Amino acid sequence: MRPRVRALFSGLSLVAAGTFGCQLAEIPSTDPGAGLPVDPATGKPIDPGTGEALPGFSPAPISVGRLTTAQYRNVVRDLVGPVQLTTELETDTAVNGFIEIGAARTTISPAAVEKFEAAAFEIGKYAASSAVRGALVGCTPRATIDTTCTRSFLTRFGRRAFRRPLTTEELNRWVGVAENSARTLNDFYAGVEFAVAGIFQSPNLLFRVEVGEPDPTKSGRFRYTNYELATRLSFLLWNTAPDDTLLDAASAGTLVATWSLFEEAKRLLADPRARTAMSNFQSERLGLEGMDNLGKDRTAFPAFTPTLVTGMREDILRTIDYVAFEQNGDVRDLFETRVSFVNGELAGLYGVTKPASGIVRTLLPNTGPRVGLLAKAGLLALNAHTKETSPTLRGKFVRERLLCQGIAAPPPDVVTIVPPPNPNAPTMRERLASHRNSPSCYSCHGAMDPLGLPFENFDAIGAYRATDNGYALDLSGDLDGRTYTGPAGLGALLKNEPRVIECSVRQLYRYATGHVELEGETVLIKSMTQRFANAGYRMPELLKVLIVSDGFRYLTRSAQ
């Protein structure tokens, strides 16, 4: 699954990387405008779509993010082991499509402080348990108080926990907590328990403190520190805190150089955890969280079970993973793929052979109606009402999640009901005529309904249907003046739609940086989009471009 190396990037890093084991030509340019056409008069990059000049790059201001619950659980696993937490953690909050953006805005409520304390003592007790403590602590205490042993443990453990070495003050603080606890309870390992429980409540663990330092190579600029870069890289590619190898690279002071960051990026990308993390990104990007709460009509859809929903979710995520990482393919192929991953129930819904057990990869029939990511049952069910289809929601999904276009809310005091089927309007297409016939409705619905109507051959849970209410289906659609028929028609258009690619780049950038891109980052988004195309639309290459980019490595620090 290692991607083949492609020297497709315009511009080369000038760091003398040859001696460090990677090919100079592999490293993507760090120039925020790389790959973009330039205005011959000014020499500055222009938007390849509009030809307009792009404002110069400026990095985003800092915002200290909380760990997401997934990140917290991964950190527990990596630092202590497979603790089965009984405490239900405070939920993540998605803002503008990503919980990473919510994590950079929300804080820890008083009730969450209690939950984190309870969880921290579960973790501490696990760490101090006889089966775990030997390997974890790494030394055998000679007495209830063994300062040498405690210090060596907390020096090592603290570095993993805070993603940087502890300061002397911090180390003394946690050694003090450990020894005070050990003395009071007359047990060295009680000290381990309390110190671990304390470190797991520290804001230095619960928040990602990435505040940068003055860049010695350019006056007035702030860069992320070596340890902060290790943290950013690890949370992006593994959704967890950096491992010792990455922290060692940070300790050596090399990560601020692109060759070193790039080497580590390649190492992390080659690990299966990168694919899990990217599935997490895809799940958020497509809004799959909503699949937990679909509440479909149980009378109309008795087959709609939690197992089916699991199969639907896995079908979407594994198909993307298969094309983007397993095959290292062109992600645009997702719009035309027949690859599916099915469990027994989803196989039934798709009308293909049921697997003996588990989830298996299968190819849907070449001539069948179900083609491309958009015809995955999960997305069709997610973007539908509980009993009826919703061309509006399906169109909204394409606008919002695939084209990054916002849709205004319906005006207040407008009756939004879709009339029930009747002799004059027996099909959904005809029932939605009220949207088309009212200019105020159509100003927004005109952008949504025509994108969803071509999916009318799939019902509210994404099962194929040949008719609507017994009437033949009209699957014609319209994307900004370009007409097409059915999911295959829309898929073919979207595959070659530059806005779809730019939107996916924007979403990756938002996920990676915890904010919606600002004007000063537009040039980088455009550049990344262009270089994604140059790289054959291969996700691992896009990730590498992002990681060495100025948007990932620099920040703006406002006055304190």
Partner 1 sequence: MKKLVLSRRHVLRGAAGGVLATIALPTLEAMLNSSGTAYAQGAPLPKRFGVFFWGNGVRLARWNPTATGADYQLSEQLAGLSKVKNYVSVVSGMEIKTGNERGHHAGCVGILSGAPMVTQDPGGAPFASTFSKPSIDQVAATYLKGTARFRSLELGISRRVTTGEGTTLRYLSHNGPDNPNPPEYSPRAVFNRLFGTGFVAPGQTAPPVDPRLALRRSVLDAVLAEATSLQAKLGAADRQRIDQHMTGIRELENQIRAIESTVTPPPSACKAPGSPTDPASERLTEITDAMAGLLAMALACDQTRVFSIQFSGSVGGTVYSEVGATREHHGLTHDEAGDQPTCNAINAFIVRKLATFLERLQQTVEGTGNLLDRCAILASSDVAEGQPHSLRDYPIIVAGRAGGVLRYPGVHYRSTSRENTSKVLLTLLQSVGMPLTSFGTGGGTTTEVLSAIRA
Longest dimension (CA), the chain: 88
What are the φ and ψ backbone dihedral angles of 238, each rounded to 5 degrees? -120, -5
Residue 418 or 425 with smaller CB distance to partner 1: 418
Nearer to partner 1, 307 or 416 (CB): 416
Residue 194 CB, shortest distance to partner 1, in Å, is 6
Residue nearer to partner 1 on the CB measure, 124 or 141: 124
Minimum Å gap between C-beta 517 and partner 1 is 8
CB of 515 to partner 1, least distance (A): 9
User: CB of residue 400 vs partner 1: minimum separation in angstroms?
Assistant: 6
- Tokens 């938007």 map to which residue? 47
Residue closer to partner 1, measured from CB, 352 or 463: 463
Tokens of 473: 């289906």
Say what angle helices 244-251 and 147-162 make with each other, to 10 degrees.
Answer: 90
Task: Give min distance, CB of 555 to partner 1, in A.
Answer: 11
Q: 439: Cβ–Cβ under 8 A, 6 or more apart, which residues? A: none
Q: In whole angstroms, how close is the CB of 99 to partner 1 at the nearest point?
A: 9
Nearest to partner 1 of 65, 486 (CB atom): 65
* Pick 87 or 476: Cβ nearer partner 1: 87
Q: Are 521 and 4 in contact (CB under 8 A)?
A: no
Type and span of the H or E element at 156: helix 147-162
Smallest distance, partner 1 to C-beta of residue 63, A: 6
243, two tokens: 């491992």
DSSP β-bridge partners for residue 476 = 485
Q: How far is the CB of 533 from partner 1 (least distance, A)?
A: 20
For residue 523, count other CB atoms closer than 10 A to its CB: 26
Report the residue number, 24 or 95, with the smaller CB distance to partner 1: 95
One-letter amino acid of 334 = L
Task: For residues 276 and 295, give the distance between their C-alpha atoms in angstroms, rounded to a whole number.
Answer: 27
| Rounded least distance, CB 89 to partner 1, Å | 10
When the beta carbons of 342 and 460 are compared against partner 1, the nearer one is 460
CB of 115 to partner 1, least distance (A): 9
Shortest spacing between CB 529 and partner 1, in angstroms = 14
Q: Report the residue number, 154 or 488, with the smaller CB distance to partner 1.
A: 154
Complex with partner 1: residue 91 or 438, whichever CB lies closer: 91
> Closer CB to partner 1, residue 352 or residue 461?
461
CA 147 centroid distance within chain: 42
| CA neighbor of 262 nearest in space, from 482, 77, 99, 29 | 29
Cβ closest to partner 1, residue 22 vs residue 185: 185
User: Taking Cα atoms as reference points, which of 393, 553, 555, 556 lies closest to residue 15?
Assistant: 553
Q: Which is nearer to partner 1, 394 or 544 (CB)?
A: 394
- Shortest Cβ 518–partner 1 spacing (Å): 8
User: What's the token pair of residue 540?
Assistant: 């691992």
DSSP state of 422: B
Per-residue three-class SS string for 2-26: CCCCCCCCCCCCCCCCHHHCCCHHH
Q: How far apart are CA 267 and CA 315, in angstroms?
A: 27
Task: Return the axis-axis angle of helices 272-285 and 258-269, rounded to nearest 10°.
Answer: 90
Closest CA to 533 of 505, 493, 492, 494: 505
| Residue number, 28 or 124, with CB nearest to partner 1 | 124
Residues belonging to the chain:
560
Contact 457, 475 (CB under 8 A): yes
Query: How far is C-alpha 306 from the geometric centre of its chain's CA atoms?
Result: 23
For residue 484, list its beta bridge partners.
477
How far apart CA 382 and CA 396 sit, in angstroms, is 12
Q: Name the region of 238 (left: φ>0; alpha: ψ -120 to 50; beta: rest).
A: alpha
User: In which region does residue 133 sit, left (phi positive, over 0), alpha (psi from -120 to 50) or beta (all else)?
Assistant: alpha
Among candidates 418, 437, 436, 439, which has minimal Cα distance to 428?
418
Q: Min. distance of Cβ 288 from partner 1 in angstroms?
A: 10
Distance in Å, CB of 160 to partner 1, minimum: 16
Three-state DSSP state, 362 = strand
